[in-house]
């Protein structure tokens, strides 16, 4: 590959990331149905027609924004869990997972908020593709909870998949509140730990 081809590819990748960031912001504010391609293009400093070079349709852009949001959250969650020292207590590992999820959700960009806002209103054809990314994210949480159960800090009298869905849903619900009304991180963490712990 020549240096001009590399530069061109790099420019295209940067433009794509600008579009995804602008799309995430628009989708976080207005959801799937209310999002405007014109506003996305304006925010990415492009013409609406230029979006088609990177994403042929609005649905292609939605699918890419959803994948980007879920995959970045999964990577942040997995990194938070992996960063826990080997000699940490099981409770500290579980706390790290909760905080990692909250950090990904409340990061300065809109990726996770866009996913939470859009996911329930997606058309079936987009929902089906998105499920694959959700499953990979859910697997990280399922592993965390299974290890917590084995270590005695997560209840063993409930279905872990249901528990996982409830934990993720509870954490995700904090992204739909304004930062001013959002419950304190410490309160969220301590409440979840109390609900998860064996009686």
pLDDT at 1: 56
pLDDT tens-digit profile of 52-71? 889 999 899 999 998 988 88
**HEC string for 74-111:** HHHHHHHHHCCCCCCCHHHHHHHHHHHHHHHHCCCCCH
Cα→Cα distances 95→18, 76, 185, 193, Å:
33, 14, 11, 7
Output the pTM of the full model. Answer: 0.79
Q: What is residue 184's DSSP assignment?
A: P
What is the chain's mean pLDDT, rounded?
87
Q: What is residue 10's DSSP assignment?
A: H
pLDDT at 42: 94
pLDDT at 98: 94
Task: Give yes or no for a contact between 77 and 145, defined as CB atoms under 8 angstroms apart.
Answer: no
Distance CA 8, CA 169 (A): 41
User: Does residue 48 surpass a pLDDT of 80?
Assistant: yes
Q: What is the largest CA-CA distance in the chain?
A: 64
pLDDT at 178: 61
Query: What domain range is 184 assigned to?
Result: 56-196
Q: The domain spanning residue 188 has which CATH number?
A: 1.10.357.10
pLDDT tens-digit profile of 181-195? 667 888 899 999 999
- Percent over 90 (pLDDT), the chain: 46
Alpha helices, DSSP H, located in the chain: 3-34, 37-43, 48-54, 58-82, 90-105, 111-118, 124-150, 160-173, 185-196
Residue 148 lies in a domain: yes
Instruction: Work out the pLDDT band at 7, boundaries 50, 70, 90.
Output: low
Residue 75 lies in a domain: yes
Find all residues with CB under 8 Å of 143, minimum gap 6, and list them.
Answer: none
Residue 45 lies in a domain: no
pLDDT at 177: 59
Task: Give yes or no for a contact between 66 and 120, defined as CB atoms under 8 angstroms apart.
Answer: no
Residue 176 lies in a domain: yes
More confidently predicted of 33 and 97: 97
User: Does residue 23 surpass a pLDDT of 70?
Assistant: yes
More confidently predicted of 28 and 20: 20
Nearest to 53 by CA among 41, 36, 63: 41
Residue 23 lies in a domain: no
Residue 43 lies in a domain: no
pLDDT at 124: 83
pLDDT at 163: 95
pLDDT tens-digit profile of 94-145? 999 999 999 888 775 688 778 878 877 788 888 888 888 889 999 999 999 9
Four-residue CA torsion sign, 179, 184, 189, 193: negative
pLDDT at 179: 61
pLDDT tens-digit profile of 117-129? 887 778 888 888 8
Q: How many distinct structural domains can be found in the chain?
A: 1
Residue 20 lies in a domain: no
């Amino acid at each position: 590959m020549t240096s001009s081809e590399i530069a061109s590819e790099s420019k295209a990748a940067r433009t794509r990331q600008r579009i995804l960031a602008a799309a995430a912001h628009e989708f976080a504010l207005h959801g799937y149905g209310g999002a405007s391609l014109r506003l996305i293009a304006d925010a990415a400093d492009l013409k609406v027609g230029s979006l088609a070079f990177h994403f042929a349709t609005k649905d292609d852009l939605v699918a890419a924004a959803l994948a980007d949001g879920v995959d970045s959250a999964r990577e942040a969650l997995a990194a938070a869990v992996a960063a826990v020292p080997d000699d940490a207590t099981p409770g500290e590992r579980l706390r790290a997972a909760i905080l990692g999820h909250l950090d990904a959700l409340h990061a300065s960009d809109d990726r996770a908020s866009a996913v939470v806002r859009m996911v329930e209103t997606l058309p079936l054809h987009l929902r089906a593709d998105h499920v694959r990314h959700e499953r990979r994210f859910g697997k990280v949480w399922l592993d965390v909870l299974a290890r917590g159960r084995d270590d005695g800090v997560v209840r063993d009298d409930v279905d872990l998949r249901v528990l996982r869905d409830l934990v993720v849903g509870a954490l995700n619900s904090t992204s739909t509140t304004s930062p001013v009304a959002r419950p304190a991180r410490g309160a969220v963490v301590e409440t979840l730990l109390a609900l998860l712990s064996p009686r």
